[in-house]
Amino acid sequence: MKKFLAYLKGRPLGMVSLVLLVILYILMIFAEFFAPYAPTASFGEMTYHPPNARFYQGKLQAQEFRVTSTVSWNYVRIRGSYDEIRFFAKGAPYKLMGLIPMSRHLFTTSGRHPVFLMGADNLGRDIFSRILYGSRISLTIGFVATAISLVLAVLFGGLSGYFGGAADWSIMRLCEFFMLIPGLYLILFLRSLLSSKMDTGQAYMMITIILSLVGWPGSARTIRGMVHAIKREEFVMNSQLEMIPPGAIIARDILPQIASLLIVSIALSIPGFIMTETTLSYLGLGIVDPAVSWGSMIKRDISTLSNLRNYPWLLTPVWFLLGVTLAFNFLGDCLRDYYDPYHTVFRAFNFFNLFKKTGAGAKAPETEQAGSAEAPEAETKALAREAPLLELKELGVTFSVLRGRTRVAVHAVRGVSFSLGKGEVLGIVGESGSGKSVTTQAVPGLLPGNAAVSGSVLYEGKELLGLPVGVLREYRGKKIGMIFQEPGRSYDPLQNIGSVFFETFRNSDPAITRRAAMDKAEALLKETGLDSGMERLSNFPHQFSGGQLQRIGIALALAQGCELLIADEPTTALDVTIQKQILELLKTLRRTRRISIIFISHDIDLVADISDRIMVMYGGLIMETGASATIASGGALHPYTKALLAASPAFGSHYSETRLQVIPGRVADPASPEPGCPFAPRCSLAQETCRLGIPPLKPAGEGHELRCVL
């Protein structure tokens, strides 16, 4: 609250609005104390009495007025006739908040002349007292109706946007039904169906329910649209893959993202509902005597234009209503800007400095050092002789997708087999839709529910396919880490980086303290090339560049000591300089931590720079595998691999001398795969035998395999 109040100092309208609303709600709660008279107390001979509080002889006093005409109720002041206004004096007895018996009021008189701070109405009742008592209905009905309608909007809008399908269709049709009819007409229609002889409590409840039912559809449609978009973000998909209940995902991951919208909706709905209650009371369908609300006061007091001309103080409830409406709007603007995750409104307090050690700081974990960035040839051969860390056998992935009104089978991966040794780097290249990402996502079980997986995935000899989610979580992060193409979409924008690390460390060590987690996070950030890590842990994702976020993603992947790192196009969204830095970082981590890496990219030259072996995929099949040095130096055999190399610009080439080649045609549709080689329709060397059946993957030299009939 101190931070918010500091922010309000720069927003004078917001500060004034907050002070005004706080004062009004304090007056409402303690109305019996602040009001000099009961709302029904009437002074019969003082109809339309003007305000009579005056400063006289240095004191605040109530001046005597006498009527000059009982037809128009005109008054004149009586010079020298005053009754002193006494503060904290005894008056009519009451129960404060209905519980504490009291008789003292903030101000009153001895009784010789009543004090009318804001004048009196047509029955001689004190307008100030009636405004305070009337605020209890007018100000609370806005809050209660807003709360109910907001719960309905979040519930139905969240369910509709998150689940879609039949739930989305049904809820949206219901919203459209309510929105077809203008809101005020619908309110009047629903209110007219009810009895006109309800007491105050019944009228209050029925008006609140009607306003809530009419107010939720518009907000629900807006929330539905935002939830529908946010649920596609990667941090929400991660929660879904971890089998977190939908209710928890909506409440924890999605609703905070639309907090600024909800705040604005609340700030606009409260005065809107107050105005609607005022309208109903003005039309005689709301609160009626002897109960009092601002609407009922306006209905009774502002009946003719001559009344307003002769007794302008009768407009006082209107000014209160206007002030409350503007105050909520100005305060809503401030709250929206303050809580919007994409606005920086103040310099954040570095909370994590509280946990920083006083010494030289945490040291990076001791790691094995090597002499060069590249693995020596002897070491590579030794790795090949070890038992493989990861082994895929005839892996197949088929998605069931709705196209139009029919479901089709999309064959994303078809019989992929390879092995990966400890400390080895495998590069996978191919165009979009070749099955690269789907193949690697099948390893830790991150495929969606509409995927059917066949074959075998062995990690250190243990089968991963078919394992329960609880068992797979022992592999995710702790043994198998992943970094993704667009790091900015992998983070919750409302969660700072320190909280992300703390949550990650707790997955493997639930008893870890925040201080220990921050020390380990700082060491990891330094290891991945982010100095001043502790100072940056309190920052949010939007305060980092793309390269910095990718380094943080690598640090998070290493946080639980993973042995296999899957890098799914980690450099695609980065510029060339940052790409080089990320590649050098991965090489260093491979050398120091001896982790295995699967590196996915469209750029075959980039893959050759970091990997020991290259696997070329197309149409869900492995087309060629071989040593990176062999393929990159002209030893590629498959026409598709040659086409990828020819389509990559060479350093030093010029467009006037060498035209960049383009692979003709389109990528094969996995929903209707070719009967033969999937690349045959685009291959200039294709023969009739290429279309008769899928060629097998055969050895083509030491460490080299090829799928081609030529």
pLDDT tens digits for 47-94? 888 898 888 888 888 888 888 887 777 888 888 888 888 898 888 888
pLDDT above 80 for 506: yes
CA distance 68 to 73: 7
Q: For 123-168, how does the pLDDT look when each residue is reduced to its tens digit (9 = 90+)?
A: 888 999 999 998 888 888 888 888 888 888 888 888 888 888 888 8
pLDDT above 60 for 381: no
- 590 alpha-carbon distance from chain centroid: 36
One-letter amino acid of 64? E
CA distance 406 to 414: 22
- For residue 183, the surrounding DSSP H or E stretch is helix 183-192
Position of tokens 């992935």?
397
Q: For 556-569, how does the pLDDT look when each residue is reduced to its tens digit (9 = 90+)?
A: 888 888 899 998 88
- 338 alpha-carbon distance from chain centroid: 15
pLDDT score for 622 = 93
pLDDT above 50 for 368: no
pLDDT score for 350 = 44
Q: Which of 579, 557, 575, 555 is nearest to 566 (CA)?
A: 557
Q: How many CB atoms lie within 10 A of CB 126?
A: 26
pLDDT score for 341 = 55
Q: Which domains does the chain have, with CATH numbers?
A: 130-339 (1.10.3720.10), 377-650+664-706 (3.40.50.300)
pLDDT score for 397 = 94
What mean pLDDT comes out for the span 25-53? 88
pLDDT score for 336 = 76
pLDDT above 60 for 355: no
pLDDT above 90 for 413: yes
Is the CB of residue 544 less than 8 Å from the CB of residue 574? no
CA distance 530 to 412: 37
In order of 636, 678, 693, 694, the CA distances from 689 in angstroms are 21, 13, 8, 10
pLDDT above 50 for 488: yes
pLDDT above 70 for 280: yes
What mean pLDDT, rounded, does the chain reach? Answer: 82
Tokens, residue 425: 């780097």
pLDDT score for 304 = 62
pLDDT score for 566 = 92
What mean pLDDT comes out for the span 461-479? 87
Angle at alpha carbon of residue 615, lines to 611 and 619, rounded to 5°: 145
pLDDT above 80 for 38: yes
Confidence of residue 509 (pLDDT cuts 50, 70, 90): confident
Can you tell me whether residue 598 is helix, strand or coil?
strand
Task: Spell out the SS3 assignment of 371-428.
Answer: CCCCCCHHHHHHHHHCCCCEEEEEEEEEEEEEECCEEEEEEEEEEEEEEECCCCEEEE
Which is more confident, 672 or 44?
A: 672
Q: Which of 682, 676, 667 is nearest to 431 (CA)?
A: 667
Tokens, residue 528: 């991945």
What mean pLDDT comes out for the span 401-429? 89
β-pair partners for 596: 564
Q: What residues contact 624, with CB distance under 8 A and at least 6 apart?
A: 615, 616, 631, 636, 637, 638, 640, 641, 704, 705, 706, 707, 708
Q: What residues contact 510, with CB distance under 8 A and at least 6 apart?
A: none
Can you tell me whether residue 206 is helix, strand or coil?
helix
Q: At what angle do helices 316-339 and 294-301 cross, to 10 degrees?
A: 150
What mean pLDDT comes out for the span 203-227? 81
Is the CB of residue 592 less than 8 Å from the CB of residue 370? yes
CA distance 479 to 459: 9
Q: What residues contact 175, with CB distance under 8 A and at least 6 apart?
A: 156, 217, 218, 220, 221
pLDDT score for 655 = 64
CA distance 96 to 293: 19
Confidence of residue 424 (pLDDT cuts 50, 70, 90): very high
CA distance 265 to 279: 21
Confidence of residue 366 (pLDDT cuts 50, 70, 90): very low
What mean pLDDT comes out for the span 686-698? 88
